[in-house]
Amino acid sequence: MSQILETQKLDIQKIREEFPILHQQVNGKPLVYFDNAATNQKPQRVIDALVHYYQHDNANINRGVHTLAERATAAYENTRKSVQKFINANEVEEVIFTKGTSESINLVASSWGRKFLNQGDEVLISAMEHHSNIVPWQMICEERGATLRVMPINQAGEIIVEALDDLITERTKMVAFNHASNSLGTINPIELIIKKAHAVGAKVLVDGAQATAHLPIDVKALNVDFYAFSAHKMYGPTGTGVLYGKRSLLEKMPPYQGGGEMIKEVSFSKTTYNDIPYKFEAGTPGIANVIALNEAINFINELGKANIAAHELNLLNYATNALNAIDGANIIGTAKDKVSVASFVVEGIHHFDLGMWMDAKGVAVRTGHHCTQPLMDFYGIEGTTRASFAVYNTVEEIDIFIDALNSIIKRFNK
């Protein structure tokens, strides 16, 4: 307990009351939910917003003149304004709703890539990318004859910035990397990388999936070209995400998908496309999810990102110290700056076994490669056990997790 800093301003017990799912027993034990990097839980206000929409406002957006359609459209567009403020975008039209981070990245790789990538061009990603920020670039590079390059990392799981000057050249057209790593927790030096990329005229896409719940995001100050994230990793619903893009780029990009809403006029000989953001929002979107995302943003804003981050850092430090004290447990990802992710391996125990035994004790952790297989190859491991913390987690829960871990290790070593 002595490691805990005196910065906790949040009433965590009160916050926990807002999350009905946390108050249950799993396998006869109180649930300890440490799988927040996969998806975090939803406060009642987000659940209420979903229910309210279906009970009172359900209608398709942008199409009807009737009252319900107008209400649904207004609420949907209201979230767009909230997202604009949340990430400090210049204009509301620069906020595109997608299914999530993966779709946002696929949209850019496919639309921007098809228009702007040519034979001999290079796309630079990092060694710690999620498959969602690898595969779409591999696909488009193959199609366009471009080359995929990789920023190296050190053993701590930090990008080796000294290597960047050789990697970022006039051939580089896109630099795509995560703000924070899902497997390691590393917070990347995004300002520096963006500046280096822009110095050679390259564009930058930042995968913010693991950042938006923890770190302040200011796309204007960062001068980032594209920023992708998912609602479900920031206390919002699944199946909804955001692509931020600079107007100047989005306007030059062809539509990603064809369908309703993304057109101005259609005839069998020619179609003209709608303006941004609608040009990129073909078909009926996840209306209820987008509307409920607004409540997730309100939840984060009301608590304050700095307060959330301070609480989570306390949890991370506490868990890190406790894991370091366990014989045979090794933390994977020891960067100086980290979001609240503690990934580790335990000698002699497979991560799947560990995850199952943890579950038997009511503790939900993630096991496996976390969709970062090249990163696991770098460390020469198959996967890790990952505990990731959210604002509603407590030191007492970490104690339960560490006790569970110690008793599992004891059992395996018998």
Minimum CB–partner distance for residue 64 and ligand C6P (Å): 30
The single-letter code of the amino acid at 119 is: Q
User: Of 12, 26, 38, 360, which lies in the binding site for ligand C6P, with binding defined by CB under 6 A?
Assistant: 38
User: Of 19, 121, 124, 130, which lies in the binding site for ligand C6P, with binding defined by CB under 6 A?
Assistant: 130
CA pair distance 83, 104, nearest whole angstrom: 15
Burial class (CB in 10 A: 0-12, 13-18, 19+), 24: exposed
Instruction: Let me know: does 136 contact 109? Beta carbons within 8 Å.
Output: yes
Q: Would you give the binding string for ligand C6P spanning residues 230-259, x where CB under 6 A is met? A: x-----------------------------
3-class DSSP state of 98: strand
3-class DSSP state of 181: coil
Minimum CB–partner distance for residue 233 and ligand C6P (Å): 6
End-to-end Cα spacing for the chain: 30
DSSP for 249-317 reads HHTTSPPSS-STTSEEEE-SS-EEEPPTTGGG--S---HHHHHHHHHHHHHHHHH-HHHHHHHHHHHHH
Q: Is the dihedral of CA 4, 317, 219, 104 positive or negative?
A: negative
Between residues 26 and 38, which has the closer beta carbon with respect to ligand C6P? 38
Tell me whether residue 371 is one of the annotated catalytic residues: yes
Minimum CB–partner distance for residue 95 and ligand C6P (Å): 17
Considering only 82-90, 146-154, 204-212, 393-401, which stretch makes contact with ligand C6P by CB under 6 A?
Answer: 204-212
User: Of 57, 158, 207, 281, which lies in the binding site for ligand C6P, with binding defined by CB under 6 A?
Assistant: 207
- For residue 115 the two structure tokens come to 């228009």
User: Of 100, 136, 157, 255, which lies in the binding site for ligand C6P, with binding defined by CB under 6 A?
Assistant: 100
Minimum CB–partner distance for residue 385 and ligand C6P (Å): 12
Q: Does 182 bind ligand C6P (CB under 6 A)?
A: yes
Q: Would you give the binding string for ligand C6P spanning residues 333-372, x where CB under 6 A is met? A: ---------------------------------x---xx-
3-class DSSP state of 23: coil
Instruction: Let me know: does 244 contact 87? Beta carbons within 8 Å.
Output: yes
Q: Would you give the binding string for ligand C6P spanning residues 154-173, x where CB under 6 A is met? A: --------------------
Sheet strands (E) in 110-209:
122-126, 147-151, 172-178, 203-207
Which secondary-structure segment (H or E) carries 117?
A: none
Between residues 73 and 385, which has the closer beta carbon with respect to ligand C6P? 385
Q: Which of 263, 282, 326, 371 is catalytic?
A: 371
Minimum CB–partner distance for residue 352 and ligand C6P (Å): 15
Residues recognised as catalytic: 371
Residues near ligand C6P (CB under 6 A): 37-38, 100-102, 130, 132-133, 178, 182, 207, 209-210, 230, 366, 370-371
